[in-house]
Structure 1
Amino acid sequence: MQIQRKNRNKRPLRTQHISIFGRMFVFFLFFLFLLSPPRFSLSLTQDGLFLLEARSSISDPQNSLSSWNPAASTPCQWRGVTCNNHSAAVIAIDLSYSFLSGPFPAALCRLPSLSSLNLSYNLINSTLSAVSLCRSLLHLDLSQNALVGPIDSLAALTSLLHLDLSQNALVGPIDSLAALTSLRYLDLSGNNLSGEIPETLAALPHLETLNLVSNLLTGTIPASLGNLTSLKRLQLAYNLFKPGPMPSELGKLGNLETLFLALCNLQGPIPDTFSNLVNLTSLDLSQNSITGNIPQWFTRLTRVTQIELYQNSLSGELPRGMSKMTSLKLFDASRNELTGTIPTELCELPLQSLNLFENKLEGFLPGAIARSPNLSELKLFSNRLIGTLPSDLGSNSPLNHIDVSYNRFYGEIPANICRRGQLEQLILIYNSFSGEIPESLGKCKSLMRVRLRNNNLSGSVPEGVWSLPRLHLLELLENHFSGHISKAISGSSSLSNLLLSNNRFSGSIPGEIGLLDNLVEFAASNNNLSGQIPGSMVKLKQLVNLDLSSNNLSGDLNFGGIGYLSKVTDLNLSHNRLDGNVPSELGSFPVLNYLDLSWNNFSGEIPLQLQNLRLSELNLSYNQLSGDIPPLYANAKYKTSFIGNPGLCSHLPGLCNSYSRNKNWRHTWILWSIFVLAGVVFIIGVAWFYLRYRKVKKLKKRLCTSSWKSFHKLQFSGLEVAKLLNEANVIGKGASGKVYKVVLSNGEVVAVKKMSVGAPKKVDENGGSRKDEFDAEVEALGRIRHKNIVRLWCCCNSGNDKLLVFEYMPNGSLGDLLQGSKKSLLDWPKRCKIAVDAAEGLSYLHHDCVPPIVHRDVKSNNILVDEDFAAKVADFGVAKMVTKAGQGTESMSVIAGSYGYIAPEYAYTLRVTEKCDIYSFGVVILELVTGRPPIDTEYGENGLVKWVSSALEHEGVDHVVDPTLDYRFREEISKVLSVGLQCTSSNPITRPTMRKVVKMLREVTAVPKRTSVNDGNE
């Protein structure tokens, strides 16, 4: 009994020790839990844990995944997550437009029930190797990210139904897709995929959508695609296929609804087998070289809603029987060689858009077109159409855009053309319309552009037209309009271009015109305007071009507030009755380039302040000016600028009457004596010159037989330039020759490029005849006048030496500034100014030159900077004029440009396109932001573009931006950096135009705006 009691007493003691130890252990664990709380809730499902793991592997700067709460029991309420209603398993994820970045979150592939994944419109930037683990996926959308590398490792996704990898940076051939036998939707558009379309794609029996638009695919369109009998959408546009016919085998695709083959280098006629495509709703064969007629069987396509055949070589008449195409809403066969008339039955269809411009159509416009109930867009310009517009045009249809320019229409403008109140653009230029502008147009508040130039219209402009609130462009040039410019014009607050020249407008210019804050151009020359120029015009802060020449304006120029007019580049007030003094304030116009005050009654002296201007044209002739000519203009270059001012005195022969007929005969005798003495001295000097400077005489002889050609008024001779070339003045060397700085005897400084016979050649698009860089620069620069394009003063071709004389830019090239000792001078505002200036120069080349000019060697070393840090585009030695009508690109036989600036598609295709210049300019923007060169050993085999992309991904913006720039401009710098990244997009289709680039740069900088007006129809 004692023993048992003893044993019983021992057991509670051991239990007590264990209990104390357990409590201490639990307390220790609890303490650790407080110090380091668990990352995930113990109650969260396994799918939720996988999602949190995926979240931890990517960057979420906008906190888009803030709802992914670890404390939740399931992820079913999280943003973008869809679960099975019964099992709570994750079956779909949609995180599109979430600003996510980083590598593909491989943890998502561990979700066992995941069937749909949408990560489009983010910055996912890895290869596709991790995606191959997602074997349960049926729907995968990774479009609009930054995926790189080839398409591989996808063969494991055998159950995949929907695959969208569009708008990324995928490269290499299309392969590893044959195993995806369940695939129904495949979109690889907007990448850099190359090679031929593989025959293996024809082995995807269930494929319904195949989209390969905007890649670098070559070869031809394979006939085997005709075996994809389930196909509903075939989109192969904008690739680099070889010239060839459309495969007739595509006619076997009886289920096809969309056929998109624009810009595929197609040739020959449209195959007759396409008549079997009776289910087509959209047909786009535009921008090819298709020939022949539009087939008659087109009329059997009763389901088609849009047909786009523009920019081909189609001929013949439009097919009869189009009234059967009862679903047709858009028909565009513009820029072809179609003939004949417009069928009445075409106008009876439910068309919304009819575009037949730039053909050879003739005859009358069918009256039935006015009965089309859905017509919103009618473009028939540049044909041979004749007659009147239907009187009820616009009465029954929601017309939005009408352009029948460059035809032979006559009669009145239909009164009900804006009856539905939706008309935005009315373009009737270069016809023979007569009568007055209908009063009803004054009530058309939707109008934005009215172009009535070169017609026979007359009468007064309705009061309501002057005050249309949304009007941007009012072009009434070259008609017979009369009456006054209404004071109601103040209501047209959006007006940017007011063009009234060559009419019969009378009365004074209303002071209310000074309220048009957006006015860029005001041209009212060759009218009968009278009175004073209103002082309120100094408030026009956006005004660039003012032309009031050939009127009866009088009074003085009241430019007391002239500081407002800081953007005026062209000012023409000639042939009026203006008097008083020439305002000295004109000298403060910072960008004035053209000044014409001739044929007025200005008096007094010419203000010295005009010397502050950099004028390409100055005309003060035929006034009553007196005194001395400012020294800058007192030379032969400006001689004709001052004729007809008897009171002006100058040493220039013929400008002033230095001697009168009643001078003393003694003075005449003295003059003759001086003349004879000068002749003797001249003869002696010539002999001495011949004996002492034989070498210079030889140079003179050679240059006298050469061809000197001037492009501007010069105040120096070519011989003087040639004599001053010596090695001590060399400021640059290149493959084509040397560049000299030459200081002339009159103090002017010019830059001279001396090109030798062996200078690099410019190869034409056929690889045949060649133009050297000299001819290319003369051809391009000889006709250009723009403040951001370097001026070519003159040129000389002497056979052995070819000289190009340019204006001198004291600060050299942008490349030298960024990488040289003067980099500290380039603060951020100066860099912004340089970016905008260079962009405006390129925009002028691309959009305002006819034909457009592609520079092909845009780089920082070809952007020159003057003493005020204004930038100008230079070096047009490999520039190319896009001369093929209707073609946006031309192929070259060799690559032109500089390493680090060449667009990726140019290296593959050799196609000349404005997009190549835009890519190169994007590199220049990245140079301005980073301060780094385009090529550096730090980048390895990559260039600046890929280095910036990589640095942004891993380090952020601060690591990219030049550390010498002021941090206060960080937001502005980031926006300009974004513009540079858009310009350097690997997909040329997504790059903005230079006109858009200029607009974006202006929006983020305070650089003064210069607007150019496109006079085209569009």
Structure 2
Amino acid sequence: MRMPPPPSSFSIVVFFSFFFPCLSLNQEGLYLQSVKLFLSDPDGYLSSWDHPGLTPCNWTGVTCGPSNSSVTALDLSSFNLAGPLPSLTPFLCRLPLLSFLSLSNNSINSTLPPDISSCQRLSHLDLSQNLLTGSLPSSLADLPTLRYLDLTGNNFSGEIPDSFGRFQSLEVLSIVYNLFERVIPPSLGNISTLKMLNLSYNPFTPGPIPPELGNLTNLEVLWLTECSLTGRIPDSLGSLRKLTDLDLALNFLDGPLPSSLANLTSVVQIELYNNSLVGELPKGLGSLSRLRLLDASMNQLTGPIPVELTRLPLESLNLYENNFTGELPRSIADSPNLYELRLFRNNLTGELPKTLGKNSPLRWIDVSSNSFSGEIPSTLCDMGELEELLMIQNSFSGPIPESLGNCRSLTRLRLGCNRLSGEVPSPLWGLPHVYLFEVAENLLSGPIAESIARASNLSVLSLSRNTFSGSIPGGIGSLSKLVDFSAGDNKLSGPLPQSMVKLGQLVRLDLHNNALSGELPSKIGYWKKLNELDLAHNSLSGAIPSAIGSLYVLNYLDLSDNMFSGEIPADLQNLKLNQLNFSYNRLSGDLPPLFAKGMYRNSFEGNPGLCGDLEGLCGSRNQEKKQGYGWMMWMMFILAVLILIVGLYWFFHMKYKNARRSVDKSKWTLMSFHKLDFREDEILSCLHEDNVIGTGSSGKVYKVVLSSGEAVAVKKLWQGTRKESWNEGSHVEKGVCDLPNDGFDAEVQTLGKIRHKNIVKLWCCCATQDTKLLVYEYMPNGSLGDLLHSTKGGLLDWPTRYRIAVDAAEGLSYLHHDCVPPIVHRDVKSNNILLDAELGARVADFGVAKVVDSTGRGIETMTVIAGSCGYIAPEYAYTLRVNEKSDIYSFGVVLLELVTKRLPVDPEFGEKDLVRWVCVTLDQRGVDHVIDPRLDSCFKEEICKVLNVGLQCTSPLPINRPSMRRVVKLLQEVNSNLNNSIKKFIKDGKLTPYYYEDSSDQGSMA
């Protein structure tokens, strides 16, 4: 049926004039009521627009001129309005004096119409945070008085029109977070009036910074963050003498920093982080007297830090992850405004200035991973504002300054891996706001002071590898927030205080290699969150408490080399332990049956009175048992085995024979995608129920062991009901495997042409008229979902989970960025990530995958939702349009699974899914209640960074989700910390606790 044409503006005005009692309302009021007719106003913000009156000047959001007659400004921002913009502009542009228009933060949709140029008096236009799409009209530049244009947070695409160079009065141009393509046009350099240019976070085609931007001599702010910029920073930017803020971070810029940057005499902030810049910092930067923040982190810069730079009144100096060498200039101590000093991961040497902090309101200091030496300056907290002091992995020596004991503002103290000596100042133990206290791997001595009872906020106490002595103070039991207590390799003595059972949040207790004595506390079962208990190499005695068997999350238990006696409690069989060691004690009695396994072979040696079915235990008794068996028993056993073998051979022979007869091999067609060492008959003869290893929505999966000994996985798809011709649709190769099954076609089309280490390999496809088989490489460890959420989930430690995340991310990145055309998986979930023998990850199951169209703008609207509950992106669920951002959301859910070990949908969440549960729990209870308690707490910082990536991927707005290539980079940035900790701190077959610097990720939730 033909739809009637939309009403004209004249007819609408007539409508209002006839039906509304406010017949005296002026023409502008009628125009605005026409605007309201096209808007959805669920919250009633525009209800005042229906009130009678002569003019609309008293209506909500409306401002009139001095004469109170004509509308000059319309501010409808954050009114929760919805409606198409092209229907509004014909009426808005008829307001003759309208100069200010803001529809920001609503749900205004459709496109930006060309007739917006008829609003000739408009000087301020704000359409940010809406749902606008399409390209920008070139006619925008015809607005002669427009000074402010903000289109941030929409879905505009295409290119920035060259016509924008014609703007006559524009001062602010902000198009952040859109979908603009092509390169940044040089014509923007012609807008001589421009004061702020913000093009950040757009997927521009990789290209250089236009040198023409150097012509914008009035420019004060230049933000080009994450704009795919390549090449060198042009010298012409040094001409921007009024520039106060320069942000070129998160790009692909290379080459040296131009010396012309020293001409930016007004600059306050320069951000260049996460590029590939090389060479030295220009010495002329020291002349920038107004500079407060310089962040050149995550580049390949070399050479010393210019002395002049440290004389500036910097508020933040971030130069980490570079290759700076040399000493830290003494002049840095003279900076009166310095409150943040982060220089970690460089090669800086020498001593810190003796007066550092004396005249500066220092709050954050991180000089970790350098080669600093000498004593820690005693003046660091003289201004009383120091919050974080991070100095790990240096060569600092001497005592810890007494003055730090008075620094009540301190929250994090990390002095590990140095050469500090003497006693820790007594007041320092009891600082009330410190939650991380780390002095591991030093030469510190003396007792743990009783004042530690006042450290009410303490969460991590790391004292390992020092020479601390004396007993553990009873006051430690008052630290209700303590999660990790690590004091191994010291000289602590005496019993464990009974008060320690009050530590209900304790996840890790490591006191190995000390001189502790006495019995374990009787109420040890209160440690319900305990994941690791290591008391090895002490002089503890008495019985092993049976209450340990109630610590259900415990997976590491080492009580070796002590003097424990009595029997091993049978309740310990309730635990799911990855590590168990009771060796070299005085245990006796029978070994619980579940511990009589090869994996525990060395866990009980050195206990002469302990008997069981493990080699080396109670040998004489075992020998007597063996002698009780006569030769008749052996003969009966052998006879039974022979009968069983003959019976099984006959059974399978007949079954395979019947199976072969039922299959007409001549009807099978085979298409291979790799060189094969097997024939289809080897596959067909093994497709029986005994070899089924899984059943899904698309069919059964069989494990088939070939004659070569190699295993493959065979998916046999369920028979469909479609009767289409084989020639319909798009297929891999006409006449072979081009079968009428959507899932089969998609899988073959996709996997048949992919070659990547993190995508499951499709060997071949076999098909008849009624049966379709897909033959893959066999993944011995099954799917990530099955392994993670089963009782074997404890086997996946954090390094393994992290490697799985990176592998899967690289596989998806290959699909999105390296395939031509790109491929969208559409069903990313933990069950579709398979694990090989080394727990390496492969992305699998491409039955619903789709390719992006040739324009690169995404996939056509689907008729049904593909995907799994809990993984589906919100916009996909209600628009049925899918692109790469949908996969990124699903992968973000997988990251949250790896961090939390929770299902994407769980009855415990109520109406929420995993994403909402994580966000709410983080907000209300903190990160410790989100992370899987089974994970080793020494990886907490890396886990928090991966959690942060997962939250970025699951942003409700697709535009805010990083690309898969960016996700891979974010995950790889965690890699250096993780690899260094694994290589350096694995000792004696287990991971030794260690906390490494986390400041490389500003904003880390740890």
TM-score by length of 2: 0.68
- Picking from 763, 767, 780, the partner of 1:804 is 780
Q: Which has the larger radius of gyration?
A: 1
- Offset of 1:903 from its aligned partner? 13
Contact map agreement 1:813 1:860 (CA 8 A) in 2: no
Determine which of 580, 605, 608 is the counterpart of 1:618.
580
The separation in 2 between residues aligned to 1:802 and 1:211, in whole angstroms, is 52
User: Where does the alignment leave 5 or more consecutive residues of structure 1 unmatched?
Assistant: 1-37, 90-112, 699-721, 743-751, 777-798, 815-836, 865-872, 883-891, 911-919, 947-963, 997-1010
Q: How does 1:35-74 map to 2 (within 5 A)?
A: none
Alpha-carbon spacing, 1:254–1:810, altered in 2? closer, same or farther (3 Å): closer
The match for 1:642 among 601, 604, 627 is: 604
Seen in structure 2, the aligned counterparts of structure 1 residues 46 and 976 have a Cα distance that, compared at 3 Å, is farther
Query: Is 1:117 paired with 2:74?
Result: yes
- Would you say 1:140 and 2:86 are equivalent positions? no
Q: Note closer, same or farther for the CA distance 1:570–1:308 as it changes in structure 2 (3 Å cut).
A: same
2:998 — aligned with what?
1016
Give the structure 2 partner of residue 540 of structure 1. 503
> 1:470-499, CA deviations, whole angstroms, 9 ceiling, x for partnerless residues?
212111111111122222222222222111
- Which amino acid is 1:446 matched to? S
Q: Does the 8 Å CA contact 1:813/1:861 hold for their aligned counterparts?
A: no
Distance in 2, Cα, partners of 1:971 & 1:801: 37
> Which amino acid letter does the alignment assign opposite residue 120 of structure 1?
S
Listed as ranges, the matches of 1:917-956 within 5 Å are 924=870
**Matched AA of 1:134:** L
- Cα deviation for residue 83 of structure 1 reads 5.0
Does the CA contact (< 8 Å) of 1:846 and 1:852 recur in 2? no
Match of 2:245 among 282, 286, 289: 282
The change in CA–CA distance for 1:48 and 1:206 in structure 2 (over 3 A counts) is closer
Amino acid at match of 2:479: L
Q: How does 1:127-166 map to 2 (within 5 A)?
A: 127-132=84-89, 133-135=91-93, 136=95, 137-152=98-113, 154-166=116-128
Q: CA deviation at 1:428?
A: 0.8
1:247 aligns with 2:210: yes
Among residues 756, 759, 778, which one is paired with 1:770 in the alignment? 756
Aligned counterpart for 2:143 among listed residues 161, 173, 180: 180
**Are 2:455 and 1:497 aligned?**
no
List aligned pairs for 1:674-693, cutoff 5 A.
none
In 1, Cα distance between the equivalents of 2:392 and 2:302? Answer: 22
Is the Cα contact below 8 Å between 1:763 and 1:771 reproduced in 2? no
Report which stretch shifted further, 445-454 or 408-417. Answer: 445-454
2: CA distance between counterparts of 1:973 and 1:253? 48
Contact 2:430–2:451 under 8 Å retained in 1:
yes
- 2:225/2:251 contact within 8 Å kept: yes
Is contact 1:926-1:977 (8 Å) kept? no
2:389 and 2:412 in contact (8 A); partners too: yes
Contact 1:736 1:773 in 2 (8 A): no
Structure-2 separation of matches of 1:298 and 1:810: 55
Tell me the distance in 2 between the aligned counterparts of 1:77 and 1:547. 70
Secondary structure of the residue aligned to 1:314 is strand
* Residue of structure 2 equivalent to 1:258: 221
Q: Which residue of 1 aligns with 2:305?
A: 342
- Structure 2 counterpart SS, 1:421: coil
What is the CA–CA distance in structure 1 between the aligned matches of 2:748 and 2:468, rounded to whole Å?
A: 51
State the alpha-carbon separation in 2 of the partners of residues 639 and 426 from structure 1: 45
C-alpha distance in structure 2 between counterparts of 1:631 and 1:723, whole Å: 37
Q: For residue 185 of structure 2, what is the aligned residue in structure 1? A: 222
CA distance change for structure 1 residues 39 and 524 in 2, over 3 Å: closer, same or farther?
Answer: farther
Q: Which runs of 5+ in 2 are unaligned?
A: 1-18, 657-684, 706-710, 717-736, 738-743, 763-774, 813-823, 860-865, 887-904, 921-950, 971-992, 1002-1006
CA distance in 2, matches of 1:138, 1:646: 93
Inter-CA distance 990–357: structure 2 relative to 1 (3 Å threshold): closer
- The 3 A distance-change label for structure 1 pair 673 and 976 is closer
Structure 1 CA distance, aligned partners of 2:547 and 2:856? 52
Find the aligned partners of 1:160 and 1:387 in 2 and give their Cα distance: 60
Q: CA deviation at 1:809?
A: 8.3
Deviates more, 1:211-220 or 1:150-159: 150-159
Query: Residue 133 of structure 2 aligns to which amino acid in structure 1?
Result: V
Task: Classify 1:479/1:741 alpha carbon distance in 2 versus 1 (closer, same or farther; 3 Å).
Answer: farther
SS in 1 for 2:458: coil
Residue correspondence of structure 1 range 706-745 to structure 2 within 5 A = 726-727=689-690, 729-733=692-696, 738=701
Deviation at 1:1016, TM superposition (A): 2.5
Distance apart, 1:691 and its partner CA: 8.3
Among residues 576, 599, 607, which one is paired with 2:538 in the alignment? 576
8 Å CA contact 2:38, 2:87 repeated in 1: no
Q: Which one of 101, 120, 132 corresponds to residue 170 of structure 1?
A: 132
> Cα deviation per residue 1:400-449 (whole Å; 9 max; x = unaligned)?
21111111100011110111112211111110000111111111122111
Shift, 1:587, TM fit? 2.3
Distance 1:200 1:437, change over 3 A: same
In structure 2, distance between residues paired with 1:670 and 1:842:
48
Shift of residue 363, structure 1, vs aligned partner: 1.0
The answer to whether 1:513 aligns with 2:476 is yes
**Counterpart in 1 of 2:486?**
523
Distance across 2 between alignment mates of 1:121 and 1:264: 28
Q: Is the 8 A contact 1:733 1:739 kept in 2?
A: no
Give, in angstroms, the shift of residue 157 of structure 1.
2.9
Identity percentage over the alignment?
40
1:229-256: CA deviations, max 9, x gaps?
1111111222222222221111111111
Q: Give the Cα separation in 1 of the matches to 2:907 and 2:304.
A: 65
Q: How do 1:713-862 and structure 2 match up within 5 A? A: 726-727=689-690, 729-733=692-696, 738=701, 754=713, 770-771=756-757, 773=759, 802-806=778-782, 856=812, 862=829
Match of 1:591, SS state, is coil
Give me the whole-angstrom Cα distance separating, in 2, the residues matched to 1:812 and 1:303: 55
| Alpha carbons of structure 1 residues 163 and 51: separation in structure 2 relative to 1, 3 Å | closer
SS of the equivalent of 1:490 reads helix
Residue aligned with 2:381, SS: coil
Q: Is the 8 A contact 1:495 1:516 kept in 2?
A: yes
Q: In structure 2, how many angstroms separate the alpha carbons of the residues matched to 1:306 and 1:160?
A: 32
Matched residue type, 1:125? A
Contact 1:729/1:741 (8 A) holds in 2: no
Q: 2: CA distance between counterparts of 1:520 and 1:557?
A: 19
Q: What are the within-5 Å matches in structure 2 for residues 198-213 of structure 1?
A: 198-213=161-176
Distance 1:657 1:144, change over 3 A: farther
Give the superposition deviation at 1:527: 1.3
State the Cα distance separating 1:347 from its structure 2 match. Answer: 1.0
Q: Describe how 1:423-502 pairs up with structure 2 within 5 A.
A: 423-502=386-465
Q: Give me the TM-score of the superposition, normalised by structure 1.
A: 0.67
423-432 vs 294-303, greater mean Cα deviation: 294-303
